[in-house]
Structures are given as C-alpha cells and as structure tokens.
Chain A
Amino acid sequence: MKTAIYAVIRKDFKSVTDNRQLFLPILLVPVILIVIIPTIFVLTIYFVPEEMGDLETLLSMLPESAGNAGIQHTILRVILNNLLPVFFLIIPIMTSSVMAASSFVGEKEKYTLETLLYCPLSLGQIFYAKIMASFLMSMLVSLLSFAAMILVMETEIAVMFGSIILPSLSWPVLLLLLSPSVSLIAITLIVRGSAKAQSMEESQQKAVFLILPLMLLIVGQFAGILLVSVWLLLVLSAICAFAAWILIRGCRNRFTCESLLQ
C-alpha cells in the first residue's frame, strides 16, 4: 500500500510542477521574498550608510550584543535575523496552500477525485498521501528558499562589506519547528474546507487567515514592539503545532466519499 501512497504523492508533485499557473507563484514568491527584498535592503544599507538618525531608536531596543558591531553590520543582522524570518513564513503558508488547494479541491474541480476514490485505498490513506504531498512540497520549497537566501545574501554582504553575518538560532527553530507547524495548519484549513469549496481560488482564501497574524508580526518588527527571538519563535511553534494537531485530529472523520463528491 506504501507504493500506492508514494504514487499519489509523486502525482501531486507533478500536477503542480506541470501547471504553470500553480508553479509560478511557488517559484516567484520565494524569489521576491528571499532574493529581491534582501538585496534591496543590502543595497540600501551599502549606499546610504550615514543616514541613521531614524534608526537610533530601533538600535537602542536591540540586545547589547547586537549593538557592539558597526552600525551597518548591526542593521544587516537585524534584517537577517529579525525581519526576514517573518517575511520567510509567507513561503510555507503560500506553498502549502497552493499545493493543498490543487491536491484536494483541484481534483474535485477536475472530476479526478472520484476516480481516485474508486481505487482500493481507504479515504484515510488518500488523505494521508495528499497531506504528505502538500507538507513535503512546502518543506522542500522552504529549505531550498533558505539555502538560496543565505547564498545570495552572504555573497552580497561579503562582496560589499568584506565579511559575512551568520544566521541566528532563530532560523533553525523557524525552519524545523514553526514552518512545519504553520504549513500543517494551512493544509488542514484548506482540507477542512475542501468538501464545501467548489474552486481552488475559493479554498485558497482560507490561507488569508494565516497571513493576517503574520502581517501583525511584520508590523511588530518595524515598530519594535515584538522582535523576533528564539524564545518567541519557540512559543509560536508550540502554539501552532498544538493548533495543527487539533485541526488534523478532527479532519479525517469529517469526510465521507459522499460529502466529498457533493
């Protein structure tokens, strides 16, 4: 039965990579968030080094260790370790939403779900395979995006400022705990709505509820109210993991073939 589950996962991956409309946002959003935006930040700091009047307030809020290095390095460190993690979270949310919507509602929309239900897989196994496909895609895109971001940003910093800035401990917490939890929440929100949703666009709208708290976090970074730290990310990861567990638990039993095909 494992072969059948792997086959569904492989097919779901191919469904997204073969579809330009779906694959483009998965490719473009990370490029904008982790290549273009950081590059703009790095270039701004490089070309406007003396304009720091407005930044004094922010720098004074940072931990003392952050302020010991030069101003430019301090700002770059703030961008890499405080600002970009929040932007980065959009990637797993977007990828898992697109993938889950295509995998569940997209199949329903294209009348291929019924054919899948006629196969000797239980509804639970089909759900498991599809959730795994969305989750794995989200993790793959997140990890590749992180690798690309570090490569691009460190190269730019090394070339422009002659040294590199190491990512803080927040990043492993984000990549290995918060990102998977947030992905699972996005997937389960879409799966739960899949029986009623009639189109992929309709189901993707559910992900907006996850983007909203993220926007608050971004505002928090700029305003200096709630700065990203390992502890904050750990707490958020624990809350999201618990929410994901609750959502997944109730997910499978909500559905029957009949409710899915309505």
Chain B
Amino acid sequence: MRSVIMNRITKIYPGGNRAVSRLSLSLNQGEVFGFLGPNGAGKTTTVKLLTGMLSPSDGNCEVMGIDPSKEPEKVHALSGVVTEHARMYDHLTGMENLIFYGSLFGLGKEEARQRAENLLKRLALNEAENQRLSAYSTGMRQRLSLARALLHRPRVLFLDEPTSGLDPESAQNVNRLIRDLAVKENVTIFLCTHQLRYAQEICTRYGLIEEGRLLAAGTLDELRRSVSPRITVRVKAAGISSDLISLLHLRKSEREDREAAGSREICLETEVSSEKEIPDLVRRIVSGGGDIYHVSACLPSLEDIYFTLTAGKEVRS
C-alpha cells in the first residue's frame, strides 16, 4: 500500500520563490525514505505540504489516502511530525508536555502517562521527565520532540533532521528506534536530512532534491546503477611491473597512495563492470610477479552519487 503520494506538486511562495517544483514521489507503508538535499533544497517545504501546513501552488498529495491541504487534522491524527520549528512548552516538564499533547490526540491522562513513560525510557529521557523543558539541552529537546510525535502511534512519521544536535550515542539510539518503528510496527518514515552518511545507515530508499527539483529516487543499488554501473577495485601490491600496470589498465590511487608512501607497496585502482572480473584481475597480478596485500571492491556511496548528480562530476570513487 502507498502511504504517501505526491503528484507533480509545486510550491511557489508569495514573492515568487519556487521552493518545490513538480515533485512526484510515492512511499510504501513501512519503508524508511531518506529525502536528501542541501539546506534550502525544499525538504522542509515538502514536509509542510505533506502535513497541510502549506497549500500546494499546483499538483496534489495524499497521506494515507487523505489530502492534507483539505483535511489536515485527519492527516495529523495519523502522522507524527518532528521539525526544527515545532517546539514544546518551556514552562512545563517533559512529562507534562507529553500528557498535554497526548490529550490533544485523544489519549486519557493515565494512558498518555504510560505511553510517555515508555517512550521517555526508550529515548533515555526518563531521568529528566520531571524537569522543566527550559533546563533541557538541544539534544534532549530533540528526543522529546520525537517522543511527542510517537505518542499516538502514528502510521507515518515525518522527521526533519531528527539527529541534529544529538551526541553519537543518542543518535544511534534514535536510529535504532526509527528502524524498529519501520520493521516491527510498519510505520512509514519520511526522513529529511542533509547528512548523507547518516541517511545511508538507516534508509531503505532515497530521494535526492536540489533547488526544489527531484534529481533521482530509488534504492541505493538503483541510484548506483543510474550514475555509474562500474565497480572500482583498489589493490595494494608490490613488485608489479609498469608493463603489467598498463596492461591491466591500473592507475595509481590518489586516496591510498599517501598511506603507502615510504613503503615499497603501491596502491592501484581500476574499474570493472562486475565483481566476477575481480578474481581474474588478482590472478593476473600474481602470475605477473606481484605481491598482493589488500584488495577491495568499492561501490559509490550515497555521497558520491549525490555529488555526481548535483555537480555532474564523475563518481569520486
């Protein structure tokens, strides 16, 4: 089932700024979709369009079959939202905030308290539950926002930079929670971030956006195929003749050449179209008198794909 559908959606702000341009996407129930792009690319605007905070200038969208621009409150009942600008009340404690928002989502006081206790424990905030929010750090506030968004067990979760301001341990904790939500509870996650390495750890599918336009969408393998179908093979070896290097179309690896500086080993790399070609390459180096210390096959990372798509550069790896 498609839980989020965007159909040629466009948003032009008063003043003429085109934040999102003819964006079409769909998300399956239970997937973690990484919506990636630099600051100002249109990620937050897209979240606001999907949650009914903004009305599209053209096109339409649906969340769980409901048009957010027409019935935003129905979309809100089924979804949870964490954005930088959606804060909670400083004069209330963490627990009081969650009970308040729980009551807005129709939870009874006791039910909201139990759910809040459970979420605060999962997000390692249980010790701060009776502290006023004014005493919370940025990371604690961020985690409390996530707890608030999960109070009513949403079917779709919109997360805008959910790990910004978190220390590595908290970020890992949040990642685990997000993954569990998708896998165990079948929650669809729409995750906006400009941290590509973070996205690659957690997402099952990606959409890359720049200046309001969708550059590409798909799984990591699909994106790799779309930008560069070839695999880079890196070899650390010694005793290879220059004839063999040119025969096998090897070139010196800039990245690892520095590591090998001063030793007799050299770092070389070449491109192959499939992993099946690697054993033959190794065999030929060894039979040519070379000693191999290390071989690795490198696929383009999300970062490489992103830079290729945005700058039209060659895949870095």
Contacts and interface: CB of A to CB of B under 8 A. Distances in A.
The main secondary structure of chain A at its interface with chain B is helix
Interface string B94-108: 000000110111100
B88 to A, nearest CB: 6
B55 A258 contact: yes
B234 interface: no
Interface in B27-67: 48, 51-55
Contacts of B106: 3-4, 120
A14 B91 contact: yes
Contacts of B86: 111, 114-115, 118
Contacts, number: 73
B81 interface: yes
B2 interface: no
B213 interface: no
A257 B52 contact: yes
Interface in A58-96: none
Contacts of B293: none
B155 interface: no
Instruction: Give the contact-size bracket for chain B.
Output: 20 to 34
The main secondary structure of chain B at its interface with chain A is loop
A118 B103 contact: no
A18 B96 CA distance: 14
B8 interface: no
A7 interface: yes
A216 interface: no
A11 B103 CA distance: 11
Given A7-B100, A258-B54, A112 B76 contact: no
Most chain B CB atoms below 10 A, which of A11, A18, A19: A11
Given A19-B91, A111-B86, A4 B54 contact: no
B76 A118 contact: yes
Interface in A184-229: none
A117 interface: yes
Given A3-B106, A121-B73, 15 more contacts: A3-B103, A4-B104, A7-B104, A14-B92, A111-B86, A114-B87, A115-B86, A115-B88, A117-B72, A118-B53, A119-B73, A119-B76, A257-B52, A258-B54, A261-B48
